Amino acid sequence: MNPGADQPGAPAPGADRSTDSYLPEHGNGGYRVEHYDLDLEYQVGPNRLAGQATISAVATQALSRFSLDLADLRVRRVLVDGRPAKFTHGGGKLRIKPARPVAAAAEFRVDVRYSGNPQPISGRWGEIGWDELTDGSLVAGQPVGAPSWFPCNDHLADKAGYRISFTTASPYSVQATGNLVSRQRRGSTTTWVYERPEPTATYLMSIQVGLYTEVELAGGPVPQRAAIPARLSDRFAVDFARHGQIMDVLQRLFGPYPFGEYVVVVTDDDLDEPVEAQGMSVFGAGHLDGRRTNERLVVHELAHQWFGNSVTIADWRHIWLNEGFATYAEWLWSEFSGGPSAQQHAANWHAHIAAGPPDLRIADPGVAGMFDEQIYKRGALTLHALRRELGDEPFFELLRKWVADHRHGTATTADFTALADEFANRSLAGFFTKWLDSTELPPLPR
């Protein structure tokens, strides 16, 4: 709570909750965001962030008050359409009462000036969001980390465009999710400006700050580059040597890469898991060993650019559409690159899952099961079984149409099953009931 702020009163019912079935406390009602403009200044040593966020939105109903998601940063001023607004800030919500109500269907602008020491958000998944490294910082936003560094409508279906201006000490490289528009040095600091024109979910926006060397990741029509610690260049050259081939294979299978470029960041610290962001993937130093041991993770994170980032789920209950598809991409790359076939991977994981208790419905796993291993592996098994049901040519045509139809939009499990029915020329309700809605694992088709 900001003790110096005016009290706007209780928000209207639902104003500070979203329609998400799993995480309704993230996201807000009454409006949709069209664009975020973030002007940020950051000091690495003290982990000090000062920001000005300008949010362009459209009211979906008349608004006498509304909310944004923002964690423990100090809000100094809020303007709505240029006029000072009353606000309170606490419990992860910035509640705002504009000087004049916003009419239904009206465009409006919110300016928020804020500062502080950004910290990750603690919860059932550990610490998510802005995090300090040994020398720099990163953002790992999935699923609830975006409010750790900017005020937002933190619901994955409210996708918007972005402009980020980020100023920090000149020795540091700044990688943001977007296309680099300019980089200008002034004295001891450098300002990096990125634009993300494609509609993007808040959790997929990211900032990476570190002492990185920029290298080309792969040639080809899609610009692919990397920012890495210089000491890891030899290992990186081996572990990512086939990235151009991976990109080519995934484009043949899923359709054109959906963004203007692809960036890989490798931190100088170890990370438990890679981090996905829009047009970017982040790996830790421990993911590199010079033997391509973690190449499947390289494939997995690249596949998310199609499944999860361009085609974003409309609700967290549909998470298998992200993770099952990215996992199946691992098996496909293995098959296409001369490794074990997708059928072999499927048989191995089917046996592994069958040995455990049948306790998860992947179409509705519950909040506790969002990142369960079965979401990944049984999700991939579902796709492999569908491939066997349809045949290779219709199956891959289905995937390409799925990506094309929902490019830069949102989708649900029902959308996918309906499209699959079209390619099968019959109802697949029984098939999907067994694979998605039942806890019992069906037999693996040959």
Per the annotation, where are the binding residues? 300, 304, 323
Query: Which candidate in 203, 301, 328, 330 is catalytic?
Result: 301
| Nearest by Cα to 152 from 134, 139, 169 | 139
- Spatial distance between the Cα atoms of 25 and 147, rounded to a whole number of angstroms: 12
107 phi, psi to nearest 5 deg: -80, 140
State the maximum Cα–Cα separation within the chain, in Å, rounded to a whole number. 67
Sign of CA dihedral 197, 200, 202, 208: negative
- Spatial distance between the Cα atoms of 211 and 119, rounded to a whole number of angstroms: 21
- DSSP letter at 369 equals G
Q: How many helices (H) and strands (E) does the chain have?
A: 9, 23
Contacts of 425 (CB under 8 A, 6+ apart): none
The amino acid sitting at 63 is: L
Residue pair 238/291 in contact (Cβ under 8 Å)? The answer is: yes
Q: What b-and-e string marks burial along 140-173, b requiring 16 or more CB atoms within 10 Å of the CB? A: bbbbbbbbbbbbbbbbbbbbbbbbbbbbbeeebb
Compute how many other C-beta atoms are within 10 angstroms of the C-beta atom of residue 308: 24
Query: Which candidate in 376, 389, 393, 397 is catalytic?
Result: 376
Q: Beta-strand (E) ranges in 14-47?
A: 31-43
Tokens found for residue 155: 């619901």
Q: Using alpha carbons only, what angle is made at residue 230 by residues 276 and 128, rounded to the nearest 5 degrees?
A: 25
Q: Could you tell me which residues are beta bridge partners of residue 419?
A: none
- Spatial distance between the Cα atoms of 396 and 233, rounded to a whole number of angstroms: 36
Annotated binding site for Zn(2+): 300, 304, 323
Tokens found for residue 326: 């990215």
Pairing of strands 31-43, 160-169: parallel
Query: Does 397 participate in catalysis according to the annotation?
Result: no
Rg of the Cα atoms in the chain: 22
Burial-class residue 294 by CB neighbours within 10 Å (0-12, 13-18, 19+): middle
Query: Does 328 participate in catalysis according to the annotation?
Result: no
- Spatial distance between the Cα atoms of 376 and 129, rounded to a whole number of angstroms: 22
Q: For the chain, how are helix, strand and coil distributed in percent, rounded to 5? A: 30, 35, 40
Tokens found for residue 357: 């208790």
Catalytic residues: 301, 376
